[in-house]
Amino acid sequence: MNIYTAAVTLILIMDPFGNIPIFMSALKKFDEKKRRRIILRESLIAFLILTFFLFFGKFILQGLHISQPALNISGGIILFVIAIDMIFPGKGKASAEEVDGDPVIVPLAVPLLAGPSSMAFVILASSQFPEAKIEIFIALLIAWLITTTILVLSDYLRKILGNRVLRAIERLMGMILTTLAVQMLLSGIKDYFMPL
């Protein structure tokens, strides 16, 4: 797995454009300066969580006796469900309406940025390509920087693009993610039935 593939996949999973309305809803009572500080803090927390799972997730899997094909298949299913929700948004998307006060970790850092699918992806990538952990870390850093930049600029992007364009971008990202999810699922099935 190269840096470009991992970074694009992580950006698609973290779904910065799809998260703009949720972040704006959760932070609507704060002024623009405070919103940016909260977004930066929550984004950094998500990055640290994903970095932890990148370097130590394999040991968690070994402790739980989870095989590589099982991780591939479950990761593919999770990504597919996320992608379908991006293409056909419904009430399944996490809501931040009920957030009271300054949101810390939940729901912005986890599960919106560092959710089950992004955690599964970094664990899967580091398990499949243990020799490329530094490249995957660089990809995570790139994806995090791009996602954070988009979210910090969310006020401007929402004004310039509007909700309709943001939804269209999210659906396009969902379609791309669907193909990645199917590929991951097929790889897991292949590894299960035809182990090396």
What is d(CA 86, CA 174) in angstroms, rounded to the nearest whole number?
5
Question: Which residue in this structure is represented by tokens 């298949």?
Answer: 73
Take residue 25 and report the two structure tokens written for it: 């809803």
What are the tens digits of pLDDT across the range 77-120?
A: 888 888 888 888 765 555 555 456 788 888 889 888 998 778 88
Asked if residues 93 and 85 have their Cβ atoms less than 8 Å apart, the reply is yes
Q: Residue 149 sits in which domain range?
A: 3-193
Is pLDDT larger for residue 117 or for residue 168? 168
What is d(CA 153, CA 186) in angstroms, rounded to the nearest whole number?
37
What is d(CA 162, CA 131) in angstroms, rounded to the nearest whole number?
43
What is d(CA 4, CA 188) in angstroms, rounded to the nearest whole number?
22
Give me the number of domains the chain comprises. 1
What are the tens digits of pLDDT across the range 9-29?
A: 999 999 999 889 889 888 988
